[in-house]
A and B are shown apart, each in its own frame.
Chain A
Amino acid sequence: MACFTVTTVAAIGVGVARHIVRHNEKKVDPTKVDPIKLDTLPVSKKLGMLELGLWGGSFILAGEHVIHGEVTFTFPWLTAVSEGPDAVKEMLFEMGTVGVGMLAIIVGIWGIGLLVRKLLLKRKAKLAKE
């Protein structure tokens, strides 16, 4: 009904966080960065990948909701809102279950991706030492 709104709000939040992190990264003196550090990919780039996933998924799912007639281009945008309190209740329940589940799977996949990357870098460094 409106499950994609959860990931859209999360995408906005991650976007703001990425902007702040990138701003702080610019302030860091490059000479003080640990040269032995394995993972050189900035945190803002990592957040950017998460943001891309959240925006991309939300964009495609928003289209699906438009085709299903659950989202309209006129106020109040969500069909459930104009259908009454029962439909709103159902919509909120769906957002809390399916929407949060969608957010969790995206963040989970992102986290696993970062972990795999870290492990691969560690393995690469270990092989280089040997």
Chain B
Amino acid sequence: MYFLVALLGALTFLALWLFGKKKELHFEYGAIIFGAAAAMWFIDCVASAIGGEPFLSFEIPTDLWISLWTLVGGLFFYGAILLGKYLIEKKQAK
């Protein structure tokens, strides 16, 4: 389930990066963060399927919490990177 959430996040950021106008928000960073998580979970899903478990799991409520964490954690990481970049640019401008 959280694999799908990460994939959705990556696709949303990818669309914003390609078609969005606010380039200063560096949507590509969000696409990379969520895309990397989705890719890593894809390997996890494949490993689960090889081990005889279902490819996608929908364990409620654990998966809901992880899905929520995926969104919050990914956006937090993206925000932290943007803030760091902004502070560096501000320092360099001085």
**Chain A contact residues, majority secondary structure:** helix
**Distance (whole angstroms) from the CB of A125 to the closest CB of chain B:** 22
- Taken together as a complex, chains A and B put the C-alpha atoms of A17 and B69 apart, in Å, by 30
Expressed in whole angstroms, the minimum distance between the Cβ of A113 and any Cβ of chain B is: 9
Closest 10 CB pairs of A and B: A56-B33, A57-B36, A53-B36, A60-B37, A102-B40, A101-B43, A63-B69, A57-B40, A98-B47, A105-B39
Known: A53-B33, A56-B36. A102 touches B2 (CB 8 A): no
* Contact residues in B for A55 (Cβ distance below 8 Å): 77
A77 at the interface (CB under 8 A from B): no
**B92 at interface, CB cutoff 8 A:** no
A residues whose Cβ falls under 8 Å from a Cβ of B? 3-4, 7, 49, 52-57, 59-61, 63-64, 67-68, 94, 97-98, 101-102, 105-106, 109
A57, B66: Cβ atoms under 8 Å?
no
Judged by a CB distance under 8 angstroms, whether B6 is at the interface is yes
Say if the beta carbon of B29 comes within 8 Å of chain A.
Answer: yes
Q: B4 → chain A, closest Cβ, in Å?
A: 14
Chain B residues whose CB sits within 8 angstroms of the CB of A67 once the complex forms: 62, 65-66, 69
How close is B19's CB to chain A, nearest CB, in angstroms? 17
| Contact in complex: B41, A61 (CB < 8 Å) | yes
Residue of B whose beta carbon sits closest to that of A104: B43
